[in-house]
């Protein structure tokens, strides 16, 4: 977050961003004629975010791994990271099933199912290869291949621990990380304009759809997302850092949450999330790895969205959504939709295609689920992004101990400079 002035309270900038979001929403409703002029500025802001994103991930991840100094420590962190990601995704899927069971989102919905062509699914092993690697070095430096970039960065960081000039290499990567974090801070001075323009266009595009037949699902999803956001994440934060950690979590969460809400992109929110995690006192070698990785394979909002899509289509087609086998399959598929399928470069509608193929649904239901994805995208992205923030917090506790955040806070009080 940029420092506007040492005499200005730190909450002023988030308030400015919040005001930009509100004014952008009003412009999207009442000033439709100016939207063609606003959209390019919103695109410029988002494009600059993506431009800074790739080198920031490379330098921060490589530096984080190089600082670990041991492959054993990295293996332990990755094992705990996988456990937290899978555990929180399972909780999200299970709770969302109870919601759609008691409040069926497809109740009373009718839809004309026209034939929609569905592309042939990519073989699993080919998907796996595309998930973790790219054929050309230059393709690493694209936000569409972030997971491959993370794998490359981890390998580079491990290699840095094995060379004699380790300290010089580590200093280089840390300098690169500091450089692009500072560039991100400079870009955030443009954020109020970018947020205003992007949110105006977003509200205009989604507004008509929200008034149509998907409005009930949108309301149910949004209400549950709010309960999940304030309830579950508060419990996670309190478990990870106690009362002080809880306060720090909520005091630093506004910027990544607003970035997620306005850009609808987990990747574009990575710099804001890294900055927030640093302010909260997470261990750098943990959050610099967990947050970029989580933006690809840990999306609790998308897990919940997957369950809502399945329930919506089942209700529309009047299928039984209460059989144990159907429920277990729905939970498993929802987790896949929010993890592996979302990580595939250029995945697009692969999550919806997975639901389509697993349940043997009519091809035309693909467009029904795609529409749901568009409508719930803002709230889902908020859960996706902030879920990685609190996951980093929990992983920090598991690795560093339950008093790690408290010790960091006490050290800051003793050494304010």
8 Å CB contact between 143 and 286: no
The C-alpha atoms of residue 301 and residue 151 are separated, in whole angstroms, by: 24
Written as one string, the DSSP assignment of 274-286 is HHHHHHHT--HHH
10 phi and psi angles, rounded to 5 deg:
-65, -20
Q: Judge contact between 271 and 49, C-beta under 8 A.
A: yes
Q: Are 311 and 326 in contact (CB under 8 A)?
A: no
Q: At 164, phi and psi to the nearest 5?
A: -70, -35
Note whether 231 and 246 are within 8 A (CB): no
The domain limits of the chain are 12-414
pLDDT one-digit tens code per residue, 59-72:
888 887 787 666 66
Alpha-carbon distance of 309 to 243, in angstroms, equals 37
Q: Which fold is adopted by the domain 12-414?
A: 1.10.3860
User: Within 13 Å of residue 259, how many CA atoms lie on the same side as its CB?
Assistant: 31
Q: Which residue has the tokens 């101990």?
A: 401
**What does each of the 417 residues of the chain score in pLDDT, given as a tens digit?**
554 444 455 557 767 877 887 888 788 888 888 888 888 998 888 788 778 878 888 888 888 778 766 666 667 777 888 889 899 999 999 999 999 999 888 665 554 444 444 445 556 577 667 767 888 888 888 767 777 888 888 889 888 888 888 788 889 988 998 898 888 888 888 888 988 888 788 778 756 544 455 678 888 999 999 999 999 999 999 998 888 889 999 988 988 998 888 877 787 888 889 989 988 888 888 888 888 888 878 899 999 999 999 988 888 777 888 888 788 888 988 887 787 555 444 444 567 766 776 777 776 677 678 778 878 888 998 999 999 999 999 998 888 887 776 665 444 433 444
Q: What burial class does residue 352 get, using C-beta atoms within 10 Å of its C-beta: 0-12 exposed, 13-18 middle, 19+ buried?
A: buried
Q: Could you tell me the two tokens for 175?
A: 């300098």
Tell me, what's the pLDDT at 3? 45
Burial class (CB in 10 A: 0-12, 13-18, 19+), 112: exposed
Show the tokens assigned to 103. Answer: 């409040």
**By three-state DSSP, how is residue 9 classified?**
coil
The pLDDT value recorded for residue 117 is: 44
Q: What's this model's pTM, rounded to 2 decimal places?
A: 0.68
Q: What confidence tens digit (pLDDT) does each residue in 137-176 have?
A: 888 887 677 778 888 888 898 888 888 887 888 899 889 9
d(CA 337, CA 31): 37
3-state secondary structure of 10: coil
pLDDT of residue 213: 57
């Amino acid at each position: 977050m940029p420092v506007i002035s040492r005499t200005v309270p730190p909450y002023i900038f988030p308030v400015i961003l919040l005001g930009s979001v509100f004014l952008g929403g009003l412009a999207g409703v009442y000033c439709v004629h100016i939207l063609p002029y606003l959209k390019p500025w919103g695109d410029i802001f988002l494009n600059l975010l993506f431009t800074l994103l790739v080198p920031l991930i490379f330098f921060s991840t490589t530096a984080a791994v190089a600082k670990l100094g041991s492959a054993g420590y990295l293996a332990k962190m990755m094992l705990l990271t996988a456990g937290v990601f899978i555990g929180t995704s399972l909780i999200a899927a299970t709770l969302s099933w109870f919601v759609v069971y008691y409040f069926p989102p497809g109740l009373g919905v009718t839809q004309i199912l026209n034939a929609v062509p569905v592309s042939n699914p990519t073989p699993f092993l080919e998907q796996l290869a595309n998930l973790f690697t790219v054929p050309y070095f230059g393709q690493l430096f694209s936000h569409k291949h972030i997971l491959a970039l993370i794998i490359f960065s981890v390998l580079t960081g491990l290699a840095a621990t094995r060379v004699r000039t380790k300290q010089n290499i580590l200093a280089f990567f840390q300098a690169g990380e500091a450089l692009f974090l500072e560039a991100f801070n400079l870009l955030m001075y443009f954020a109020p304009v970018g947020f205003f323009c992007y949110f105006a266009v977003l509200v205009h595009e989604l507004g008509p759809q929200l008034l149509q037949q998907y409005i009930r699902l949108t309301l149910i999803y949004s209400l549950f997302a709010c309960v999940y956001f304030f309830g579950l994440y508060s419990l996670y934060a309190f478990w990870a850092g106690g009362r002080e950690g809880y306060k720090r979590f909520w005091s630093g969460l506004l910027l990544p949450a607003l970035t997620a809400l306005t850009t609808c992109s987990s990747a574009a929110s990575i710099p804001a999330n890294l900055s927030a995690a640093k302010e909260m006192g997470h261990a750098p070698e943990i959050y610099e790895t967990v947050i970029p990785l989580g933006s690809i394979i840990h999306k609790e909002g998308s897990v919940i969205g997957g369950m809502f899509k399945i329930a919506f289509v089942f209700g529309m087609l009047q299928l039984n959504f209460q059989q144990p086998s159907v429920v277990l399959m729905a939970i498993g598929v929802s987790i896949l939709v929010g993890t592996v399928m979302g990580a595939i470069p250029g995945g697009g509608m692969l999550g919806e295609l997975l639901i389509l193929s697993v349940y043997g649904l009519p091809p035309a239901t693909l467009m029904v689920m795609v529409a749901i994805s568009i409508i719930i995208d803002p709230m889902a992205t908020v859960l996706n992004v902030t879920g990685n923030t609190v996951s980093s917090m929990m992983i920090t506790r598991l690795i560093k101990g339950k008093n790690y955040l408290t010790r960091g806070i006490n050290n800051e009080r003793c050494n304010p400079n």
